[in-house]
Amino acid sequence: GTSPSRRFNIALLPGDGVGPEVIAVAKDVLNLAASLEGIGFDYKEMPVGGAALDLTGVPLPDETLIAAKQSDAVLFGAIGGYKWDDNPKHLKPETGLLQLRKGLEVFANLRPATVFPQLVNASTLKREVAEGVDLMVVRELTGGIYFGQPRGFKTTENGEEIGFNTEVYAAHEIDRVARVAFENARKRQGRVCSVDKANVLEASMLWRKRVTAIAAEYPDVELSHMYVDNAAMQLIRNPKQFDTILTNNIFGDILSDAASMITGSIGMLPSASLRESGPGLFEPIHGSAPDIAGQDKANPLATVLSAAMLLKYGIGEESAAKRIEAAVLDTLERGFRTGDIYSAGCKLVGCKAMGEELLKSIESHK
């Protein structure tokens, strides 16, 4: 046989719930699209989240982090489930994901929110408001209140319990994620809206100051600033006003989820978490959906599109990425829908069948 001219190591972290199902589909799709471009993969599948807790007692085993670090890119499914809901913090599946992000130092989280023309009715927003939404949230992912020290619990002198966290940003943490946002905006509509709470928080004041400074390196990109409460409103009022939204870890968590819901199809949305160099982490934005796990009902498209981001942003293989993106659109165009995006007149399929349709699409567009 022909041996692919380019080979990459992929760490595959299926995780919990629907994770394994959507990863299985994404892997097949990734393989086919890449092979047509002469790319081959070596996979290393490793446990994370609840699956890792059950197997090893921790949500991110050292072996998993090492495999991820040694890979060219990490494809991640989803984590969490009822079983581990009451675990203490260090034994929560979520903690595994946070440790993975921190361990890989993937400080820039790219979350596109795109309204697919075929799915515009799935949005709860009026058609004229939702149609054509195409924005990118660039969320800082390894700093801020998620990781800030000191944090924890204390008992005051009068015996009262206190819980505390630290929102903290250093200039270099802001600078590097701002650059990612400006670079990205350049390839888009050239507009960055930086979101903060600089009228109240010192961490946000530094954020605004540094973003403004970095903007000077990108005179071709337009920078605006918005308070986070206003941004939450504007996403609902007129999401089309946004091109690239740059924000911190916690505001990005909230706003990227709001933005994704505006599209009406969170089962469709991928994400990429990147650093300057080194392996990126690619994951659907949806969770592990334990209620439908193992029933072949999950929508694999978010993970499939995460695999496309892996090709594009992770290993610089844009042509293979385009094959996947085109297959997703073509499959939607041909009317195939999983339950979460189903509407009357479409063809209801399960996770696997959706995968097969994607493969057919790729095959037929060789």
Ligand X SMILES: CC(C)[C@H](C(=O)O)[C@@H](O)C(=O)O
Residues of the shown chain interacting with ligand X in the complex, contacts defined by CB under 6 A: 94, 97-98, 199-200, 229, 253
Measured from the CB of residue 109, what is the shortest distance to a copy of itself in angstroms? 13
**Three-state DSSP class for 262?**
helix
**Given 200, 318, 333, 365, the residue binding a copy of itself (CB under 8 A):** 200
258 binds a copy of itself (CB under 8 A): yes
Tell me which stretch binds a copy of itself (CB under 8 A): 3-11, 17-25, 104-112, 227-235. Answer: 227-235
**Given 18, 26, 34, 125, the residue binding a copy of itself (CB under 8 A):** 125
Report how far residue 1's alpha carbon sits from residue 40's, in angstroms, rounded to the nearest whole number.
Answer: 13
126 binds a copy of itself (CB under 8 A): yes
Report how far residue 205's alpha carbon sits from residue 199's, in angstroms, rounded to the nearest whole number.
Answer: 8
Report how far residue 254's alpha carbon sits from residue 107's, in angstroms, rounded to the nearest whole number.
Answer: 17
Measured from the CB of residue 46, what is the shortest distance to ligand X in angstroms? 18
220 is catalytic: no
365, β-bridge pairs: none
In the chain, the largest separation of any two C-alpha atoms, in whole Å, equals 75
Q: For residue 13, what are the CA distances in angstroms to 26, 44, 141?
A: 12, 8, 19
Looking from the CA of 279 toward its CB, the CA atoms found within 13 Å total 24
232 binds a copy of itself (CB under 8 A): yes
Report how far residue 87's alpha carbon sits from residue 45's, in angstroms, rounded to the nearest whole number.
Answer: 25
229 is catalytic: yes
- Please, are residues 110 and 313 in contact by the beta-carbon 8 Å criterion? yes
- Please, are residues 130 and 140 in contact by the beta-carbon 8 Å criterion? no
Query: Which one, 39 or 48, has the nearer CB to ligand X?
Result: 48
Q: Which does 125 bind (CB under 5 to 8 A by kind): a copy of itself, ligand X, none?
A: a copy of itself
- Please, are residues 81 and 290 in contact by the beta-carbon 8 Å criterion? yes
Report how far residue 279's alpha carbon sits from residue 302's, in angstroms, rounded to the nearest whole number.
Answer: 20
Say how many residues touch a copy of itself, by CB under 8 A.
59
Strands of 6-15's sheet in order across: 39-45, 6-15, 73-78, 280-284, 270-274, 108-114, 134-140, 244-247, 191-196, 222-227
348 binds a copy of itself (CB under 8 A): no
Q: Which does 236 bind (CB under 5 to 8 A by kind): a copy of itself, ligand X, none?
A: a copy of itself
**Given 108, 137, 221, 262, the residue binding a copy of itself (CB under 8 A):** 262
295 binds a copy of itself (CB under 8 A): no
Measured from the CB of residue 82, what is the shortest distance to ligand X in angstroms? 15
296 is catalytic: no
Query: Which one, 24 or 136, has the nearer CB to a copy of itself?
Result: 136
Query: Which one, 54 or 202, has the nearer CB to a copy of itself?
Result: 202
Tell me which stretch binds a copy of itself (CB under 8 A): 15-23, 40-48, 169-177, 300-308. Answer: 169-177
Nearest residue relative to ligand X (C-beta): 94
Report how far residue 174's alpha carbon sits from residue 76's, in angstroms, rounded to the nearest whole number.
Answer: 26
Q: Which does 168 bind (CB under 5 to 8 A by kind): a copy of itself, ligand X, none?
A: a copy of itself
Measured from the CB of residue 239, what is the shortest distance to a copy of itself in angstroms? 9
Q: Which does 151 bind (CB under 5 to 8 A by kind): ligand X, a copy of itself, none?
A: a copy of itself
**Given 32, 203, 309, 359, the residue binding a copy of itself (CB under 8 A):** 203
Residue 79: burial class (beta carbons within 10 Å; 0-12, 13-18, 19+): buried
Q: Which of 27, 92, 146, 313 is catalytic?
A: 146
- 206 token code pair: 């530094």
Looking from the CA of 186 toward its CB, the CA atoms found within 13 Å total 11
126 is catalytic: no
Contacts of 91 (CB under 8 A, 6+ apart): 53, 57, 58, 59, 84
Residue 78's φ and ψ, nearest 5 degrees, are -160, 160
Residues with catalytic roles: 146, 197, 229, 253, 257
Q: Which residues bind a copy of itself (CB under 8 A)?
A: 89, 92, 94, 98, 124-126, 129, 145-146, 148, 151-153, 156, 160-172, 197, 199-207, 228-230, 232-233, 235-238, 250-251, 253-258, 260-262, 266
